[in-house]
Amino acid sequence: MYSYFIPSEFVRSIFHITPEFLKEKGVKAVITDLDNTLVEWDRPNATPKLIEWFTSMKAAGIQVTIVSNNNELRVKSFAEPLEIPFISKARKPLGKAFKQAVNKMNVNREETVVIGDQLLTDVFGGNRQKLHTILVIPVANSDGFVTKFNRIVERRIFSYLDKKGQVTWEEEE
């Protein structure tokens, strides 16, 4: 059961995931969470550094789709100016949105990674769909209401995994 909560990889931030890093793995598509993965949950727009990241992915031929549990207005107002496809109200960890994103990008599961900051939604959902999952450290120290509850459960899972020696974060800054 706990194996569903173990990401394929841990990295400190989205910026540690480069097109070269992904291409070495044969990745052609990224499904990424929005809030606390790409930007703080209360930041309305992308940062210049994040815009650069999206641009590098596009230049390398790597497709990106934002899959978020947040409402359409939030996700659309963030994604549309960047011309990034998105799925809002995704109901992660349920599988429908992950499947929909893979189909929209017209790729195979083996060519797709899921990037997110939560074990209970992004990693659990991605792993259940047999996708390569990458857990990042949340970009903000605060969370919305539902996520606060998830973090409590997450800490217990991390504690268990740590005791089993299954939690190792990438060390570079």
Q: pLDDT tens digits for 45-55?
A: 999 999 999 99
- For the domain that residue 28 is a member of, what is the CATH number? 3.40.50.1000
**CA neighbor of 133 nearest in space, from 1, 9, 13:** 9
Distance CA 6, CA 28 (A): 22
Q: Is residue 171 part of a domain?
A: no
Q: Is residue 134 part of a domain?
A: yes
Look at residue 138 and give its three-state secondary structure: coil
State the DSSP code for 4.
G
The pTM (predicted TM-score) of the whole model is: 0.85
Q: Is residue 111 part of a domain?
A: yes
- Enclosing domain of residue 93: 2-163
Q: Is residue 168 part of a domain?
A: no
Q: pLDDT tens digits for 117-168?
A: 998 899 999 999 999 999 998 887 656 566 666 667 777 776 777 777 766 5
Q: Is residue 143 part of a domain?
A: yes
Phi-psi region of 165 (alpha: psi -120 to 50; beta: other; left: phi over 0): left
Rg (CA), the chain: 15
Whether the pLDDT of residue 173 is over 50: the answer is no
Residue type, 164: K
Residue 114: φ, ψ to 5°: -110, 125
Q: Is residue 80 part of a domain?
A: yes
Is the distance from CB of 19 to CB of 59 less than 8 angstroms? yes
Q: Count structural domains, the chain.
A: 1
Is the distance from CB of 130 to CB of 136 less than 8 angstroms? no
Higher pLDDT, 5 or 82: 82
E strand residue ranges, 15-98: 29-32, 63-67, 86-87
Look at residue 123 and give its three-state secondary structure: helix
Mean pLDDT, to the nearest integer, of 95-123?
96
Higher pLDDT, 156 or 23: 23
